[in-house]
Chains A and B, each alone.
Chain A
């Protein structure tokens, strides 16, 4: 469980940094479409791992009878889809910042879980 949380923390951190880097340097009109394509595939892989990690952690917490944590993890799982649903190209920057903020909150939450897990 601890190793799963560490992996989730790393993926989460990488996701935040990659999204910021992408916004600032990669996703520009002047960038080669191929580079943009591969970078977005890389982001999708990270997001896929992050979502899979959240689900795995939520299930694991249910198995160890710590039911309070699972709803929060599932909430973080749902957030990217909810934000995606309301996002529009016109307000993309705003929604991307919102997404980064959610990733940050989830990062802090998973760190909190990791720290507390060690004390159980």
Chain B
């Protein structure tokens, strides 16, 4: 079993090179102003369970911080679509998921492609209504629709989407060096996220793929309204909603990460045709 990790452009890709049969794969996307770093442990977990995992760095992220100002939601959608078209044909079971913006992109992809095996939407951000949204949020429309959106920024601040204090301190130190995520949200990128969210909400009934929604009751950026909206309006025949009680926005790093990991596995196993093949293959190689 070989692990291929491509770090040069911040993408994080884990591929079982020696598989005989087409296997199962997961394509995951990070959140707004984040990076594939936030999916790393989750990706490794899925890889160990027989998945090929592709975590791509979204346009406008990962390189120069200024890049995010000029990125459009169309760029994100095209990027995700292209990666999907590239990879889908190689696998029997293909899961698409993400955190925050990544979850919205996964939903958007599912609206246009009906052959996704399953969706994993973590902290889906369709509405910005979490409890850390600043008091001056009522001014947002003034900023959003004028040139001020290129000047306006929300600085990242405590609790950084994490309830666990130990993890929060570590992330905060890494963030101050701009290594794992940006230390502020430019309003122009929030504008693009809201445009995308609006499109996804409008076409939500087109989502037919089985879905796992994970959302925290105490999410600091977006309340459970987003996840509930998706759950109540999609046309999927199989849908699961997991509500967390002891986490904030970054559910993959918080107190209940183990439950999220296990629930994901339970969900993907229930849908994977290739599960038995993959497990046998993995066991024989061990």
Mark interface residues in B144-174 (1 if CB within 8 Å of A CB, else 0).
0111111111110000000000000000000
Q: Least Cβ distance of B4 to chain A in Å? A: 35
Q: Classify chain B: how many residues form its interface, as a range.
A: 20 to 34
Q: Least Cβ distance of B71 to chain A in Å? A: 9
Contacts A29-B66, A89-B69, A90-B70; is A22 near B151 (CB within 8 Å)?
yes
Q: Classify chain A: how many residues form its interface, as a range.
A: 20 to 34
User: Which residues in chain A, 89-108, are within 8 Å of chain B measured between CB atoms?
Assistant: 89-90, 92, 95-96, 99
Measured in the bound complex, the distance between the Cα atoms of B146 and A99 in whole Å is 10
Q: In the complex, what residues of B have CB within 8 A of residue A80's CB?
A: 146-147
A88 touches B70 (CB 8 A): yes
The chain B residue with its CB closest to the CB of A87 is B147
Q: In the complex, what residues of A have CB within 8 A of residue B146's CB?
A: 47, 80-81, 83-84, 99
Q: Least Cβ distance of A96 to chain B in Å? A: 6
Contacts A37-B184, A89-B69; is A96 near B147 (CB within 8 Å)?
yes
What are 23 A-B interface contacts by the 8 Å CB criterion? A29-B65, A33-B153, A33-B184, A34-B155, A36-B151, A36-B184, A37-B152, A40-B143, A40-B148, A40-B153, A43-B148, A43-B151, A44-B139, A44-B143, A51-B142, A80-B146, A83-B146, A84-B145, A84-B146, A85-B145, A89-B70, A89-B150, A95-B147
9 nearest A-B pairs in the assembled complex, by CB-CB distance: A84-B146, A40-B152, A33-B184, A44-B139, A89-B69, A89-B70, A33-B155, A80-B146, A87-B147
